[in-house]
Amino acid sequence: EVQLVESGGGLQQPGGSLRLSCGASGFNFKNYALNWVRQAPGQGLQWVSSISRGDTYYADSVKGRFTISRDNSKSVVYLQINSLRADDTAIYYCTKVRVGDGYIYGASDVWGPGTMVTVSS
């Protein structure tokens, strides 16, 4: 079964840092691009970042503060979040791109259950 499971969320103060992890199983991880998508409470979906086999992409709102990376040997994708702000409060979902060509330009066919990040003093 193809599965993604996020971890690392929690309560952090403004200006703090968190590292989110997403463990994958059930597919040939190194061949697929992965995404992070977030959803603030009661709001819609916001694409945050993507990683292909070798390239990274970011939403303007997180560029310079967030860093996406992957460890193909462990089948894990990470999202390092620095300089946390209140508007980063959201559920963070890890998603897998449907097509295994390594490119980010595909629909997300598998979503993890999400991990909640709360930024508050």
Partner 1 sequence: DIQMTQSPSSLSASVGDRVTITCRASQGIGNYVAWYQQKPGKVPKLLIYSASTLQSGVPSRFSGRGSGTDFTLTISNVQPEDIATYFCQNYNRAPLTFGPGTKLNI
Residues that bind partner 1 (CB under 8 A): 35, 37, 44-47, 50, 57, 59-60, 93, 98, 104-109, 111-114
Integer-rounded Cα radius of gyration of the chain: 13
Closest CA to 53 of 70, 36, 35: 70
CB of 33 to partner 1, least distance (A): 10
Nearer to partner 1, 45 or 82 (CB): 45
CB of 45 to partner 1, least distance (A): 4
Structure tokens at 42: 């009661």
Nearer to partner 1, 82 or 111 (CB): 111
CB of 13 to partner 1, least distance (A): 28
Nearer to partner 1, 12 or 79 (CB): 79
Nearer to partner 1, 12 or 35 (CB): 35
DSSP code at position 101: T
Structure tokens at 23: 């463990």
- Cα separation of 32 and 102, whole Å? 5
The CA-atom distances, in angstroms, between 25 and each of 4, 73, 85, 111 are 7, 12, 32, 12
CB of 50 to partner 1, least distance (A): 7
